[in-house]
Amino acid sequence: MYIKKDLRKRIDELNNFVDTFSNTKEFYDFIETKKIYIALKEDNNYICSRCDSHFKSKKKINQYDICPNCNQKLLLKRTINCEIKDYVMYLIKYGKDFIIRNYEVYSYYSQRKMKHIVTEYARQVISKDGTLGLKIMINNMRRNTAGYWYINYLEKTEYWKPEYYISTFGSVFVDKNVLTSRYWNPKELLDNAEVNICDIIKGIFKEDYTLELLVKSKLYNLAAQYYEFKKGSFDKVFGLDRSYLLFMIENNITYEELEVLKKIKIKDINLIRYLSRVFILTELLKYCKPYDLMKYKVAAKDSFLFRDYLAMANKLNYNMNDKKVLYPKNLKKSHDQVQNLLKMKKDKKLNKKIRERFNQIEKNKYSDNKYCIFPAMNIEQLYDESAQQNNCVKTYAERIAEGSCDIYFMRLNESKDKSLVTIEVRENKIVQKRTKNNERTTESQDRFLKLWENKILKGIC
Ligand SMILES: [Zn+2]
């Protein structure tokens, strides 16, 4: 790759600085906590992949437990096919600026042991105003066909290249006194929340008061999104009264969780976390109670389909307090059922109006020795005409019902059930006349229609 000379120089400077930097013991301790160890299930026992001891656990597969022998936190697994990647950042000082060092911690199981590969794959210069300068990535970082980055461990790290987009969100480690603020401790925030480090650095150096306040209140996850909050009283800032504060702190609630808490006002973090995974929650809460939604396992369902079902059931005057109505066993089936019912109800109404219109214009029926013409009487006839003629006249039902047009069928006297010409009339004038496949009418058909229009519709001769 061709890289301009001064850019190459800046990359070398950055790399020289980082390569001669001594990572602290605290940083290595932090990385240790990101390495995953599994416990493999064999018969009824789990085997610790760190110390080989056997133990029993009441936890489920894919949950964590602690090894009673070596105290390691262990991910419980049934198979050895496990590859877990975690991403962390190390923030260090770089003159007046900072460097974000992006790491991948790769954990995998091999020969009855967990192995770990820790790779520093990117370096980004960030200024005090939160803007990024030089961003570089190692050459064995590759993008797969789906667009995701991965490290090709078979390839050697040979050089660093500039890269447009590198993550700045996640878990950030910073050594003591590297990032400071006059009134609060930024390290406290980074130790307790995943953040977009650009936002946080920007907030620290412009001494953002909301950020300070949220960290001091120990609402770390909310502090990560401090820019979402307006200044004001507690109620105004959070949309809740003060009685919720302790609950919010104890659970270090996130912005998404706060949004749910505001809607349901129930201090149950499991319920809140569950519902924070549900789309269009507000609309579902119009009909459903929060605990019932969790019981119904709504997060695993199509919430838009569910929303539509509820709205239609309500329209049909179903009892919206009946749990059998609210939480159908087969959502798709029930959805389609109410949809059909609603359509039938609507058709019935339309049909009544079309019939009324038919009674008014039935007098316009006409025939000569070859052709006859008569108005549409109901929706079924429109559907039949549409199917026979391959046109869209079936979509005219509402227009007929509201009186903005009339539809007539012109046919041969000898076969009155077979479609021939479909006619649209507005204000006693033919505005459309179509034969099968929207083809044009013949001269003979036109003569008949002209006569009918003049004699019957306009009453001229
Ligand atoms: Zn162990």
Give the distance (Å) from ligand 1 centre to CA of residue 78: 17
Helix axes 197-205, 209-216, angle to 10 degrees: 110
pTM confidence score: 0.74
**What would the pLDDT profile of 39-60 be if each residue is shown by its tens digit?**
999 888 999 999 999 999 999 9
Give the distance (Å) from ligand 1 centre to CA of residue 66: 8
Question: What is the model's pLDDT at position 3?
Answer: 63
Which residue reads 């549900």 in tokens? 278
Give the distance (Å) from ligand 1 centre to CA of residue 13: 43
Give the distance (Å) from ligand 1 centre to CA of residue 258: 38
- For 140, the token pair is 């064995």
Give the distance (Å) from ligand 1 centre to CA of residue 29: 18
Give the distance (Å) from ligand 1 centre to CA of residue 45: 13
Distance of CA 362 to CAs 8, 372, 374, 433, Å?
87, 13, 7, 19
Distance of CA 23 to CAs 20, 128, 137, 174, Å?
9, 22, 19, 11
- For 142, the token pair is 């590759």
Give the distance (Å) from ligand 1 centre to CA of residue 252: 30
**Closest alpha carbon to 91 in 173, 25, 168:** 173
Distance in angstroms (rounded) separating the CA atoms of residues 40 and 47: 5
Give the distance (Å) from ligand 1 centre to CA of residue 153: 28
Give the distance (Å) from ligand 1 centre to CA of residue 111: 16
Give the distance (Å) from ligand 1 centre to CA of residue 257: 35
Residue 438 CB neighbours (<10 A): 12
Distance in angstroms (rounded) separating the CA atoms of residues 322 and 328: 10
Give the distance (Å) from ligand 1 centre to CA of residue 64: 13
Give the distance (Å) from ligand 1 centre to CA of residue 33: 15
pLDDT tens, N- to C-terminus, the chain (461 residues): 556 779 999 999 999 999 999 999 999 999 999 999 999 998 889 999 999 999 999 999 999 999 999 999 999 999 888 889 999 999 999 999 999 999 999 999 988 889 999 999 999 999 999 999 999 999 888 888 877 778 888 888 778 999 989 999 999 999 999 999 999 999 999 999 999 999 999 999 999 999 999 999 999 999 999 999 988 888 888 999 999 999 999 999 999 999 999 999 999 999 999 999 999 999 999 999 999 999 999 999 999 999 999 999 999 999 999 999 999 999 999 999 999 999 989 889 999 999 999 999 999 999 999 999 999 999 999 999 999 999 988 889 989 998 999 999 999 999 999 999 999 999 999 999 999 999 999 999 999 999 999 999 998 86
Give the distance (Å) from ligand 1 centre to CA of residue 67: 5
Give the distance (Å) from ligand 1 centre to CA of residue 51: 4
Give the distance (Å) from ligand 1 centre to CA of residue 191: 26
Give the distance (Å) from ligand 1 centre to CA of residue 118: 22
Give the distance (Å) from ligand 1 centre to CA of residue 341: 61
Give the distance (Å) from ligand 1 centre to CA of residue 57: 13
Give the distance (Å) from ligand 1 centre to CA of residue 161: 41
Count the alpha carbons within 13 Å of 15 in the hemisphere toward its beta carbon: 17
Distance in angstroms (rounded) separating the CA atoms of residues 24 and 209: 31
Is the Cβ–Cβ distance between 103 and 31 less than 8 Å?
Answer: yes
Give the distance (Å) from ligand 1 centre to CA of residue 87: 24
Distance in angstroms (rounded) separating the CA atoms of residues 122 and 290: 43
Give the distance (Å) from ligand 1 centre to CA of residue 36: 12
**What would the pLDDT profile of 124-161 be if each residue is shown by its tens digit?**
999 999 999 999 999 888 888 877 778 888 888 778 99
- For 327, the token pair is 């939480």
Give the distance (Å) from ligand 1 centre to CA of residue 131: 44
What are φ and ψ of residue 183, in 5° steps?
-110, -10
Question: What is the model's pLDDT at position 247?
Answer: 97
Question: What is the model's pLDDT at position 146?
Answer: 79
Give the distance (Å) from ligand 1 centre to CA of residue 80: 17
The angle subtended at Cα 411 by Cα 407 and Cα 416, nearest 5°, is 110
Give the distance (Å) from ligand 1 centre to CA of residue 84: 19
Q: How far out from the chain centre does Cα 30 lie?
A: 33
Give the distance (Å) from ligand 1 centre to CA of residue 314: 57
